[in-house]
Structure 1
Amino acid sequence: MTALSTLDRPAGEDSIPARGPVRRLSSWLHRHRGARLAGLLSAPLLWLLVAYLGSLAVLFVSALWTVNSFTGDLVREPTFANFRTILTEAVYRTVTLRSLGVAAAVTVIDVLIALPMAFFMAKVASPRSRRLLVIAILTPLWASYLVKAYAWRVMLANGGPVDWLFGGAGNGPGYGLVATVLVLSYLWLPYMILPIYAGLERLPDSLLEASADLGARGGRTVRSVVLPMIVPSVIAGSIFTFSLSLGDYITVQIVGGKTQLIGNLVYANIGAANNLPFSAALATIPVLIMVGYLVAVRRSGALEEL
């Protein structure tokens, strides 16, 4: 009997004491599901706190510092001088409003383009064509950001393809604010198409059929059935397009000409001006705008679409 009991015991049991620390810890974790979940999430949460929230904290703290105008050294004494300058100087208010206008224009353009494309993909195209269209939309994301931006610089150059499309050299938009909106709309369009496509794919075809059975035309069905159902998806896509356009500075440097946005001012104060505290204060503007936007759309269910 003793031999059989010894053979029936699980392998490795002799190496773990009956009431050793490992066995006690295992039993305690088995009884406390919350502690077990906290242990699993501790590493990613620590990374989030240190890398993301920690960097934001450093950003806000450094925005309260100043630079000695004579020596160029950092003065680590808390002051709101940088924020007072941003609020009182008209040029910074103008740049902020221009940046908001560019981000809003890019979002509206992407919505107008993405809606018909996503609807065709979700409700009209065959399953095979649908997969090919999704791949076609994702393909530009595999290319380098700089490659795409410089490709647009070539197309928008004086005498380039866009000029000839409008009738000759010098007839196109050239470099400037319009070119910035155009290129940003192209760059972030997939981030608008995919959430809308996902929302339309979940829309039951029976709703569209019921609308048609009740005598509604196509336009009325889109206004009364489709659009109300995909508003969270549109808002989810706008979070990407709006935030990415609001903080972008590379596209403005490449095709913006003399256009100045918030990102350019942040970059200029980090580089040539060597005024890190003031650039940190400028960088808080898009952060606060996006926090306000996320709080405003939180009840729409858009965050669940991300």
Structure 2
Amino acid sequence: MTPPVRRLAGALHRRPRLRLAALISAPMAWLALAYLGALVVLLVSAFWTTNEFTSNIDYLWNTDNFRTVLTDPLYRNVALRTLGIAAAVTLIDAVIAFPMAFYMARVARPRSRRLLLVAVLTPLWAGYLVKAYAWWVMLSHGGVIDWIAAPFGGGSPGFGIPAVVIVLSYLWLPYMILPLYTAFEQLPDSLLAASGDLGARPWRTFVGVVLPLVKPAVIAGSIFTFSLSLGDYLTVQIVGGTTQMLGNVIASNVTLNLPLAAAVSCVPVLIIVGYLLAVRRTGALDNL
């Protein structure tokens, strides 16, 4: 093949890819501009202040809001509480999702598998507030949980941090099940059979073979559950009682002190960025 013909063939081969790249580049550029632009505006507004007498924003560059967030025990305690709740929700969802996803992908029959998958996806079609208020009814005094636990000497945990963890774990559980289900479904049977042939017991097979292969799926699910829990504030308002998370502090300051709310908003953003960087260093994201 002569060089001109080779160049023509290469151009024809690249043209579909170039056309696809051109179609994707514009939406991606707009998405990056809107997302990064919003973060830049958020960061810049955090350096402004609110006039205590007029409640107007003074566009004077200073770091008072960040100093308040870092030194005031109230914001530090709320940040630690929010981080703990998000970590607890992620851990609970991972523990619950593992056996459910494994059963759906490796044990259930094909027809039952489809029904179970529909059952997992169905709650996602229900409204967020509907599900949260349904849990409010169940957790309230004399509710369903009290009625079920009464014969065993127990009762509802009431409204507070345990209720928030329970409701958030329920809300975000499908986001942990679905990646794990896909990972278990793609797990090669030959590796499991080889592990058994070499004399490995089930627990050893799980730790040495299964867990490393599904680790990226666990991390993918944890990104969803952790970030969604970190930024939630409606569930806390409904079942949290007097509990506050970072989202509640931000929402309460938006109308009163917008620059301070922007400074507080930087905390979950930094936590998520730090979490993603830590996950990236493990190399697990390379296989997603």
* Alignment equivalent of 1:243, drawn from 185, 207, 227: 227
Secondary structure of the corresponding residue to residue 77 of structure 1: coil
* Alignment equivalent of 1:164, drawn from 144, 147, 166: 147
Aligned-residue RMSD, C-alpha: 2.2
> Aligned equivalents of 2:260 and 2:213: distance in 1?
43
Aligned to 1:120: 103
Matched, 1:147 2:130: yes
Letter in 2 for 1:146: L
> Aligned equivalents of 1:122 and 1:142: distance in 2?
22
Aligned to 1:291: 273
Matched, 1:186 2:175: no
Aligned to 1:203: 187
Change (3 A) 1:30 1:206: closer
Aligned to 2:6: none
Change (3 A) 1:49 1:221: closer
Secondary structure of the corresponding residue to residue 150 of structure 2: coil
Deviations 1:1-37 (A, max 9, x none): xxxxxxxxxxxxxxxxxxxxxxxxxxx9999899756
Change (3 A) 1:170 1:123: closer
- Following TM superposition, the consecutive aligned residue runs of length 4 or more in structure 1 with deviations greater than 3 angstroms are 28-39, 299-306
* Structure 1 unpaired stretches of 5+: 1-27
* Alignment equivalent of 2:64, drawn from 81, 96, 112: 81
Change (3 A) 1:170 1:264: farther
Deviation of 1:96 after TM superposition, in Å, equals: 0.4
Aligned to 2:51: 68
* Alignment equivalent of 2:77, drawn from 94, 98, 107: 94
> Aligned equivalents of 1:251 and 1:178: distance in 2?
12
> Aligned equivalents of 1:166 and 1:250: distance in 2?
27
Deviation of 1:287 after TM superposition, in Å, equals: 0.6
TM-score computed with the length of structure 2 as normaliser? 0.90
* Alignment equivalent of 1:51, drawn from 34, 44, 47: 34
Deviations 1:144-197 (A, max 9, x none): 000000000000010101112221798310010000000000000000001111
- Counterparts of 1:124-135 in structure 2, within 5 Å, are 124-135=107-118
Letter in 2 for 1:263: G
Change (3 A) 1:66 1:167: same
- Counterparts of 1:268-279 in structure 2, within 5 Å, are 268-271=252-255, 274-279=256-261
> Aligned equivalents of 1:29 and 1:63: distance in 2?
51
* Bigger relative CO (Cα 8 Å, ≥ 6 apart): 2
Deviation of 1:39 after TM superposition, in Å, equals: 3.3
Deviation of 1:200 after TM superposition, in Å, equals: 1.2
Q: Decide whether the 8 Å contact of 1:159 with 1:170 is kept in 2.
A: no
> Aligned equivalents of 1:35 and 1:209: distance in 2?
44
Change (3 A) 1:121 1:30: closer
> Aligned equivalents of 1:212 and 1:123: distance in 2?
16
> Aligned equivalents of 1:305 and 1:101: distance in 2?
28
Secondary structure of the corresponding residue to residue 167 of structure 1: helix
Change (3 A) 1:29 1:36: farther
Deviation of 1:226 after TM superposition, in Å, equals: 0.9
Secondary structure of the corresponding residue to residue 70 of structure 1: coil
Percent identity, aligned pairs only?
A: 64
> Aligned equivalents of 2:173 and 2:184: distance in 1?
17
Aligned to 2:8: none
Secondary structure of the corresponding residue to residue 147 of structure 1: helix
Q: Which has the larger radius of gyration?
A: 1
> Aligned equivalents of 2:275 and 2:208: distance in 1?
26
Matched, 1:267 2:240: no
Deviation of 1:302 after TM superposition, in Å, equals: 4.2
> Aligned equivalents of 2:85 and 2:69: distance in 1?
20
Aligned to 1:137: 120
* Alignment equivalent of 2:159, drawn from 163, 175, 198: 175
Change (3 A) 1:279 1:213: same
Secondary structure of the corresponding residue to residue 94 of structure 2: helix
> Aligned equivalents of 2:230 and 2:127: distance in 1?
20
TM-score computed with the length of structure 1 as normaliser? 0.85
